[in-house]
Amino acid sequence: MRSRLTWGHQPRTDDGVPVTESTIIYTHTDEAPALATYSLLPIVQAYASLAGVDVETRDISLAGRILATFPEHLGDGQRIDDDLAELGRAVLTPEANIIKLPNVSASVPQIKTAVAELQAKGYAVPDYPEFPSTDEERATLARYRKVIGSAVNPVLRQGNSDRRAPAAVKNYARSHPHRMGAWSPDSKTDVAHMDGGDFRSTEESTVVTTAGSLRMDLVASDGTVTALRGPVTVLAGEVIDVAVMRAAELRSFLDRQIARATSDGVLFSIHLKATMMKVSDPVIFGHVVRAFFPTTFATYGDTLAAAGLSPNDGLGAILEGLDALPDGDAIRASFAAELAAGPDLAMVDSDRGITNLHVPSDVIVDASMPAMIRSSGHMWGADGAEADTLAVIPDRCYAGVYKVVIDDCRAHGAFDPATMGSVPNVGLMAQAAEEYGSHDKTFEIAADGSVRVTDESGAVVFDVPVRAGDVFRMCQTKDIPIRDWVKLAVSRARATGDPAVFWLDADRAHDANLIAKVRAYLPDHDTEGLRIEIMTPEEATAFSLERIRRGENTISVTGNVLRDYLTDLFPILEVGTSAKMLSVVPLINGGGLFETGAGGSAPKHVQQLLKENYLRWDSLGEFLALAVSFEHLAEHTGNARARILAHTLDAATEELLHEDRSPSRKLGGIDNRGSHFYLALYWARALARQTDDLELAAAFTDLAALLGDQEQTIVAELLAVQGSPVDIGGYYLPEVALAEVVMRPSATFNAALATLG
């Protein structure tokens, strides 16, 4: 097999781990981060080479994952290595050093679009069989399920998460505070969640006493037994949970919230995580679409289902498919009538008529809720104006966190980035912990009865009543990650002196078991003089908000989902974006995974590039991750030059922020490529100035002078290309040669960089 990438692929050992300890793996992903890589990576590789550090790439993009999954469908020259599988082995080694950029967590519509693009390019991958009817289609669907959703993170995250705002970023935000919308005490914005019948209220939990395996069966009311899941390996000490989202109660709840939004005169919006909760949340999203258009589905539901048009895929996919139906015009008119009669819907793009219900992956709770809070509690309506909003988050496990923040803003006004403190996070995520590891154990139930979970002896561990249409899930959280999580929390509290709060609710079954483990493992560490507490998520939110309004910091110690939610929520309020967070994953076996931030706005950036040859993507997260990656490599190999690269890169990043060389918001200023040039300039100057290695300083002195002398020429060349459409040969699978030309348009800069040899 071959890799379709041209840059950085070096020989590998037979088992696929990095060739040497002086190797950094830089992941090739999707959308704007991938395009930015074409510009940034040549700089990084050139600078790193003078420290004896190899920077290689591995392809974990959606297109790459699809192609690697179906090699037998591809011709000679089309097959690629399964880089994700290789990295899954690498993260278990002490030598692992991986820069992980944001990748597409694919929804079904995204999978279908990517497949269509690949097929159009001559890659004969199979269609995505959403409704399989043959054994072959079922087998194909099983393989696609390894690609859909957040397939990458559970493989790579073999360690817990340490996320925080770097000092340079926090200081910049305080001296250059971003805009925060004012809050009115009369705001009608609110959060609605279920009070029963959701995952939170139905959860049961136990701690495994003996290693073995479990199986899951649906025992129907008529006695029929259907296997849901074969052996699930479990280890002694791990926490196992089961929970059910009851469809009837969900529908009743949604009906009430639609009526409430109408009565209150606010926008209706649904906030889920269909990309990560790739089985449960698309089903829940489908219920929302049905609830919003009850007459249409009552009249035409069977017709839509027969045509393969599922509400789980969103309103947009249904509307696109209506042209092929005899009743298409009547169905479209029915949707339009109910849309007009219902409450105003929050919009994703009011200019294009894209509603909150069009695509399940368009409105992702961890990104959409902080954006709403930052914007005075408003979302956009169909009229293009902001308005108060009813944010519907059906499951109440974490919905209360957002409600507390909204109530706090209503009472005390918007936060002030110039004075507010910080809420860094220590997150339990190793080895697919908690809900984000539940994909292969989540099912939409086909018949009334119960889901029975049994061990190897046949003993019943859980026996959960269910009805047809309910969503059942089982989650695992292994003991070693929990121990490591407690250790990391104590370590961060010791390093900073800030309070560390475990966000756990004793009245929730899963959390009760975690609380017992936290209390058992804390005495293994030196906590003398540290403030370490356990609070419910709502209590912890209020405690943290009170402190950040005083300019004080509080470490949040959370499970996997709250890790994701909070590391968008607080950074977006504190520094304007989660992309500026430092995200370190100390791998349990000694390696390091360094993540570069969120990619939620990446699609819009690609659209702007294609239209205007302007990439607004900010690579600050990549700069921060690279610095700690070099530092990690230096600590593990003794490579003094890698440490110098780390320190000088940090200095260059701080200068870049101070000089306002991040991508500007509008056409005509420097974009991502210009930001990379200035990073190269400031980094070369910092390397030339440092005195720890005079030979290294001399190697960069000429480059620093050359880049400084040619600054105006280079910037002019970068600006000159803006304003016209460009072709990169594809969205999910760009043509490498085209993308390189677009992302490296300055011949002067390219020539200067080449002088490093």
If residue 700 lies in a helix (H) or strand (E), which one and from where to where? helix 694-709
Residue 59's H or E segment, with its range, is strand 54-59
More confident residue, 175 or 296: 296
Mean pLDDT of 720-725: 96
Q: How confident is the model at residue 601 (pLDDT cuts 50, 70, 90)?
A: low
Confidence of residue 577 (pLDDT cuts 50, 70, 90): confident
In 369-387, which positions are buried (b, 16+ CB within 10 angstroms) versus exposed (e)? bbebbbbbbbbbbbeeebb
C-alpha–C-alpha distance, residues 411 and 418, integer Å: 20
Report the candidate in 241, 166, 237 with the shortest Cα–Cα distance to residue 202.
241
- Look at residues 475, 409, 408 and name the one whose alpha carbon lies nearest to residue 436: 475
pTM > 0.85: no
**DSSP string for residues in 229-268:** EEEEEE-TT-EEEEEEE-HHHHHHHHHHHHHHHHHHT-EE
Q: Taking Cα atoms as reference points, which of 364, 357, 248 lies closest to residue 603?
A: 364
The strand pair at 386-392 and 378-380 is best described as antiparallel
pLDDT per residue as tens digits for the range 31-87: 999 999 999 999 999 999 999 999 999 999 999 999 999 999 999 899 999 999 999
Quickly state the pLDDT bin for 15 (edges 50, 70, 90). very low
> For the stretch 280-293, what's the b/e string if a residue is b when 16 or more beta carbons lie within 10 angstroms of its beta carbon?
bbbbbbbbbbbbbb
Which residues on adjacent β-strands are paired with residue 268?
Answer: 345, 390
CB 114 within 8 A of CB 66: yes
Phi, psi of 191 (to 5 degrees): -115, 135
Say what the alpha-carbon torsion angle 306, 308, 314, 315 is, to the nearest 10 degrees.
-50
Under the banding of pLDDT at 50, 70 and 90, the label for residue 231 is very high
Spatial CA neighbour of 467 closest among 249, 269, 676, 668: 249
Q: Which residue has the tokens 């009249």?
A: 299
Q: What is the pLDDT of residue 598?
A: 65
CA–CA dist 31, 35 (Å, integer)? 6
Beta bridge mates, 349: 354
Instruction: Provide the pLDDT for residue 148.
Output: 82
Instruction: Give the span between the Cα atoms of 571 and 163, in whole angstroms.
Output: 10
Q: How far apart are CA 31 and CA 603, in angstroms?
A: 6
- Residues 516-529: tens digit of each pLDDT: 999 999 999 999 99
- Mean confidence (pLDDT) of the chain: 93
Structural domain spans, the chain: 280-344
Rounded Cα gap, residues 61 and 543, in angstroms: 39
Write down the residue that tokens 């701080």 correspond to. Answer: 654
Q: State the number of CA atoms in the 13 A half-sphere of 363 facing the CB.
A: 27
Percent of the chain whose predicted confidence (pLDDT) is above 90: 87
Token pair of 736 as six digits: 């490498």
Q: Say how far apart CA 680 and CA 535 lie, in whole Å.
A: 45
Helix or strand (DSSP H, E) at 70: none
Angle subtended by helix axes 711-720 and 672-689, to nearest 10: 160
| Token pair recorded at residue 241 | 């949970």
- Please give the Cα distance from 326 to 9 (Å, whole number): 52
Residue type at 228? L
Q: Which two tokens stand for residue 671?
A: 């974009």
CB 657 within 8 A of CB 172: yes
Taking only the tens place, the pLDDT of each residue in 251-276 is 999 999 999 999 999 999 999 998 88
Model confidence at 1, in pLDDT bands (50, 70, 90)?
A: very low
Quote the DSSP letter at residue 279. Answer: T
